[in-house]
Structure 1
Amino acid sequence: MSDIVRTDAAPPPVGAYPHARRVGGLLFLSGIGPRNPATNAIPGNEVDADGRLLGYDIAAQTHAVFANVRAVLEASGARWQDLVDVTVYLTDMARDFAAYNAIWAEYFPDAGAAPCRTTLGIDALPTPIAIELKCVAALPGRS
């Protein structure tokens, strides 16, 4: 049996799927991006008059995606510290990995207590974002 989680505190999914699903003692988050939950704007994106992407700020997007993940965790009854596995998708690994990795270390200063992590460089994401996270958390008190 599973419980579906949706929250207005995170940006709406870009397809027909929930923010997260509880299964037993685990919480599986769908891919979460950095869009602003209230405006759907993408922090740090610079666009021209025609709406074409000119550039982006990976630091702004990384902080925003972490905030969105935290919002889904909290809506699910979990905490940041309950994350056990994170898959990170970056659209420009060569340009963005060092900055992203430094921000990761701010949020997880104790590497021994940090979740497992895999970081992948990919060509594109479904919206003009530079980072997306796929997470699994352990739910407190559930097994």
Structure 2
Amino acid sequence: MNEGVQAAAAPRPVGHYPHARRVGDLLFLSGIGPRDAATNAIPDGIEAQTRAVFANVRAVLEASGACWENLVDVTVYLTDMAGDFPGYNRAWADHFPDPAVAPCRTTLGITALPTPISIELKCVAHVPERR
């Protein structure tokens, strides 16, 4: 199985690419940001943006037949590592309270993202094929 996924409940991608692509048991999400799917608004503050991006990731996972617990690896891009890491880390801990079952995580500080957002996630999930 090799199929692209567009999630109606997630904000439209800012380029010509799918929200996700499933290949066998793996689901690869394109970079997901915190924009609101209906209004394109960006929440204020890193904790609100982190919670919004998590909601958008959930929407893509669900549209792909996956769930939050299927996440195995997350790469996080922050435009202000020094200022935003603590708030982002608090929101992460709320959503993944048990580190033993949380996905692996890498957090990178970068100069900019394609839109005026402070955070973007790149995710991989394991989704066993239905038989």
Structure 2 unaligned blocks of 5 or more: none
- SS of residue paired to 2:7: coil
Are the equivalent residues in 2 in contact too, given 1:35–1:42 (CA < 8 A)? yes
Q: Which residue of 2 aligns with 1:78?
A: 66
Residue 83 of structure 2: which of 78, 92, 95 is its match?
95
Once the two structures are superposed, residues 114-142 of structure 1 have per-residue CA deviations (whole angstroms, 9 ceiling, x without a partner) of 00000000000000000000000001345
TM-score by length of 1: 0.89
- SS of residue paired to 2:51: helix
Once the two structures are superposed, residues 72-96 of structure 1 have per-residue CA deviations (whole angstroms, 9 ceiling, x without a partner) of 0000000000000000000000001
C-alpha distance in 2, partners of 1:100/1:94?
11
C-alpha distance in 2, partners of 1:132/1:26?
20
Compare CA radii of gyration and give the structure with the larger one.
1
- SS of residue paired to 1:126: coil
AA matched with 2:27 = L
The yes-or-no answer on 1:24 pairing with 2:12 is: no
- SS of residue paired to 1:96: helix
Q: Which residue of 1 aligns with 2:9?
A: 9
C-alpha distance in 2, partners of 1:138/1:14?
25
Kindly report structure 1 stretches of 4+ aligned residues shifted beyond 4 Å. none
Once superposed, what is the RMSD of the aligned Cα atoms?
Answer: 1.2
Are the equivalent residues in 1 in contact too, given 2:77–2:120 (CA < 8 A)? yes
- SS of residue paired to 2:106: strand
C-alpha distance in 2, partners of 1:3/1:13?
17
Count of paired positions: 131
**1:8 deviation in Å?**
1.3
Work out the percentage of aligned pairs sharing the same amino acid. 74
TM-score by length of 2: 0.97
**1:102 deviation in Å?**
1.0
Residue 132 of structure 1: which of 116, 120, 125 is its match?
120
- SS of residue paired to 1:3: strand
- SS of residue paired to 1:14: coil
